[in-house]
Structure 1
């Protein structure tokens, strides 16, 4: 078929079964947007390019599909960088199509020119600069293949302006073969046998799950492994939801703000099965003392993660969709034996949980942030898609919301991007229109992309936006309180911002909670109200996220809450 470069992009997106793209037009992509005018899939116009890329990220996390974002050249493309880096750190499949100045103008500091390929090289799985129209179909086919296969990640396709208007004979390949790129799906079965032997000899084993379990769709295989072995389970922030919070063998999140039971189990275990984890510093605490009594078995699809932070005694390279079922098959005949040999250990971990549960100080006169999260968990029964921004509220959600389902918790883990939450929630709602999507945000982070409230109103996305408003940059202030002598340098957010009026100005319903007795009624009203709703919830200023492992300390050196 004869068509323009812009039409070839639209056709390629159709061939990849794309049903929605997020973006913002500009001069370099005008020809592409003209072709989008008659496209069969949706385009969501956000109010800022950063909002568009976070929305595409939220859509990808919620649906498991590749998110797609479009931006123009120069500042349009550079406004995507934070969102691309966010997706890269959390292994989220994303294709960003950016405009570039025309081929003859590249490298001349032309109007709205930026080397987006060079800028994004450290934070993409791969990227392209397309200067020949005949290259477009092949590049897009490769981009989607790279984004979704192996360890997922973002891919940038930068297209010169004149390529959009040039014509080509369109052909879209049915498969991709890339020299040097061979994503590992199945590994060496002998390693599964070696893991099996380690399981049979361990007396204090611990299953440690990460975001890879969610991303690979391996939650059911994980549940089978847990049920057959009887081993206790802990999770990273990104792994939450892979196993229901109320599973009797689940002991919560590990790390800086992990549970006492999870941190002590990691300290005392003799075998640690790290499944789809990357041993981030927020998890390990003092690296030299992390799981120092244990043999570490690392399951991962990316060989680059093995031994990067924690030395693995045994590595299992391959997709978890292969390795976990293979291990389940191997252990099923000795299930009773495994459960018997770890019974005393499991009871020990249970005793840590009973003696030091998650707890916080309550005040009858104040709306405690943890209470808000517990109440939302009760009202939704764990069946909502929960999105957070970054900060104290993010950790409280991880601690106090009862996640029951995979892909039900969307948050910026690796990069810790304030401003992520609101647009990501809109993307999730776009991808899952029949789901209840709830955003927890702080009064700091919500302002970083608050313009997307207008997007929520324009498309009537029924996201419920709960702002835990303590009038301070909560997590930074907590560190100042605990480690900097209470010197609150530029963390106060006390001012004249009225979030209810801000929401209403952008066409979103606004509610407020200032007293504990108002909480239940207002939350129920928000959940029952059609369309988007902002709830400004006034919480106390000096509540800390606890437990907390100070930076540089061991996991067993927790500051506990009361």
Structure 2
């Protein structure tokens, strides 16, 4: 019958019509029909070397574009490999569509080769997990999946396609994805917020990742400049103010006492703007609820976040910030001395040199300072997870919002290298730099082949200390002298085996030149640099004694 198509074709075509233009994945026997449909479509398919890497790539794609990409795996071990990257997207509120193949419907619920309940497996780490049991269900299910993935708070949605449903026929066409416009702020909520603000003598703006998701950076900056209220960001919201801005107090979130923490200790009102409690424990910021909070966000504040929400405006952030600025008229706050001291302390820390020698291992602050010096607005930086992440979050100073991608909600190791592949595919100008620990980089080292096969221009920098530095630091803090050291590969041989260039850093004197050469070279480059965390003080952000 004319106009009929398979379930697999309906899935691919419905995704594409909904704005999903890229699939990252690893095929399998049960995705044969899907792969054929992808081949015949306008969708881009990026063949990966591990399903976890595919999910991380899709997640970074979503972070950079605001639109979901898809990740694909087959049933059984392919699907289980996908879970970590899918959970990362959900906990960092990144839109994603996760697709898994599955055995035929007659095998579901029975003891059968490679069959596990994939709908149940993905349910805890997605906004919705659904098995498509008939081809006619596919178009509507795809539209709802994309709507859910993009709706605030964004996240991953899982669709499981049994192989017989992929082969079955449907005459149903694509279903449009409904567009929901943000709600305007309620006048009574603006009035409540105005009361809290005008009573405060030392308010502070806490900007979270929701500011970037909402595209509200310009409005936040305008509000801060109109009122004189200083801005602190979470790790994930770095760059909403440039580092030289007179109102920035930089990032909060270090596990030890930091200069920035002093600003919260001095504040009498926290204005939370697009901040998600998954970014940092709210109780730690508000002195266990002692400081009242004004919540501004597209959704209501969780009641159990750990701080006292004295008022909230639930609406689109650009509209809320504009309405508040207008309501406050010409009201301005002077920067309190405590806030000015925080800013001065941070700037002094950024300006210092920490390495004890120009040769040998380099202090993490000095590596970050060189990265910041060379950072252009068009560049993209991705951090892995480990001790290096804390240094990057504090000492690499982004020039624009979203420029430095830091996985923080799930904080799973292994995102930076495959994420750099996705970023480099999307990058029209500038350079992609992934920064990994020597533990983190090995989590998805196999996708160095993907970068080489695609001929991508990117740099992966490995901080080498031969151990799980963050775990060692916590063990030592607990009074346990256990350490978890491991061997590292010959980075030069590893790079050459995958068709990469290798640039070893012998010390601080070579770092700047090698970074510049990596930025300018064609193809993927691996930069290895020995790091001296002890020279940097161990953990970042520890306030020096008075």
Q: Normalising by the residue count of structure 2, what TM-score does the alignment of the two structures yield?
A: 0.93
Taking the TM superposition and a 5 Å limit, the aligned residue runs for 1:242-253 are 242-253=240-251
The answer to whether the aligner puts 1:363 opposite 2:350 as a matched pair is no
Moved more, 184-193 or 142-151: 184-193
Residue number in structure 2 paired with 1:63: 65
Residue number in structure 1 paired with 2:106: 104
Taking the TM superposition and a 5 Å limit, the aligned residue runs for 1:313-332 are 313-331=310-328
Taking the TM superposition and a 5 Å limit, the aligned residue runs for 1:132-531 are 132-176=134-178, 185-257=183-255, 260-280=258-278, 282-284=280-282, 286=284, 289-290=287-288, 292=290, 294-303=291-300, 305-331=302-328, 333-334=329-330, 337-338=331-332, 342-343=333-334, 345=336, 347-355=337-345, 357-358=348-349, 361-364=354-357, 365-366=359-360, 367-488=362-483, 491-493=484-486, 495=487, 497-531=489-523
Residue number in structure 2 paired with 1:540: 532
Q: Does the CA contact (< 8 Å) of 1:22 and 1:68 recur in 2?
A: yes
Q: Does the CA contact (< 8 Å) of 1:301 and 1:319 recur in 2?
A: yes
Q: Does the CA contact (< 8 Å) of 2:24 and 2:46 recur in 1?
A: yes
The answer to whether the aligner puts 1:121 opposite 2:111 as a matched pair is no
> What is the CA-CA distance between 1:531 and the residue it aligns to?
1.2
> What is the CA-CA distance between 1:149 and the residue it aligns to?
1.5
Residue number in structure 2 paired with 1:552: none
Aligned partners of 2:532, 2:540: CA distance in 1, in Å?
Answer: 18
Moved more, 322-331 or 234-243: 322-331
Distance 1:352 1:282, change over 3 A: same
Distance 1:304 1:229, change over 3 A: closer
Distance 1:454 1:371, change over 3 A: same
Distance 1:287 1:381, change over 3 A: closer
What's the secondary structure of 2:417's corresponding residue? helix
Q: Does the CA contact (< 8 Å) of 1:12 and 1:172 recur in 2?
A: yes
Question: Alpha carbon RMSD of aligned pairs, Å?
Answer: 2.2
Q: Does the CA contact (< 8 Å) of 1:272 and 1:291 recur in 2?
A: no
> What is the CA-CA distance between 1:44 and the residue it aligns to?
0.4
Distance 1:13 1:175, change over 3 A: closer
> What is the CA-CA distance between 1:381 and the residue it aligns to?
3.6
Moved more, 227-236 or 519-528: 519-528
Moved more, 155-164 or 382-391: 382-391
Aligned partners of 1:185, 1:325: CA distance in 2, in Å?
Answer: 14
Aligned partners of 2:545, 2:476: CA distance in 1, in Å?
Answer: 15
> What is the CA-CA distance between 1:541 and the residue it aligns to?
5.5
What's the secondary structure of 2:101's corresponding residue? strand
> What is the CA-CA distance between 1:223 and the residue it aligns to?
0.7
Q: Does the CA contact (< 8 Å) of 1:269 and 1:291 recur in 2?
A: no
What's the secondary structure of 2:19's corresponding residue? coil
Distance 1:283 1:386, change over 3 A: farther
Distance 1:547 1:535, change over 3 A: closer
Aligned partners of 1:4, 1:408: CA distance in 2, in Å?
Answer: 41
Q: Does the CA contact (< 8 Å) of 1:547 and 1:561 recur in 2?
A: no
Distance 1:306 1:276, change over 3 A: farther
> What is the CA-CA distance between 1:281 and the residue it aligns to?
7.8
**Count, aligned residues:** 538
Aligned partners of 1:344, 1:164: CA distance in 2, in Å?
Answer: 61
What's the secondary structure of 1:53's corresponding residue? helix
The answer to whether the aligner puts 1:26 opposite 2:28 as a matched pair is yes
Aligned partners of 1:306, 1:278: CA distance in 2, in Å?
Answer: 12
Residue number in structure 2 paired with 1:551: none
Unaligned runs of 5+ in 1: 549-557
Residue number in structure 2 paired with 1:554: none
Q: Does the CA contact (< 8 Å) of 1:125 and 1:154 recur in 2?
A: yes
Q: Does the CA contact (< 8 Å) of 1:252 and 1:259 recur in 2?
A: no
Aligned partners of 1:443, 1:206: CA distance in 2, in Å?
Answer: 37
Q: Could you give the per-residue CA deviations for residues 528-551 of structure 1, whole angstroms, max 9, x where no partner exists?
A: 111111001112264545445xxx
Aligned partners of 2:503, 2:370: CA distance in 1, in Å?
Answer: 17
Aligned partners of 1:166, 1:280: CA distance in 2, in Å?
Answer: 42
Aligned partners of 1:281, 1:40: CA distance in 2, in Å?
Answer: 37
Aligned partners of 2:223, 2:257: CA distance in 1, in Å?
Answer: 22
Unaligned runs of 5+ in 2: none
Aligned partners of 2:124, 2:57: CA distance in 1, in Å?
Answer: 22
> What is the CA-CA distance between 1:296 and the residue it aligns to?
0.8
> What is the CA-CA distance between 1:349 and the residue it aligns to?
1.1
Aligned partners of 1:324, 1:317: CA distance in 2, in Å?
Answer: 11
Q: Could you give the per-residue CA deviations for residues 464-498 of structure 1, whole angstroms, max 9, x where no partner exists?
A: 1011111121111122233334332xx112x2511
Q: Does the CA contact (< 8 Å) of 1:503 and 1:509 recur in 2?
A: yes
Q: Does the CA contact (< 8 Å) of 2:292 and 2:307 recur in 1?
A: no
Q: Does the CA contact (< 8 Å) of 2:73 and 2:79 recur in 1?
A: yes
Q: Does the CA contact (< 8 Å) of 2:210 and 2:276 recur in 1?
A: no
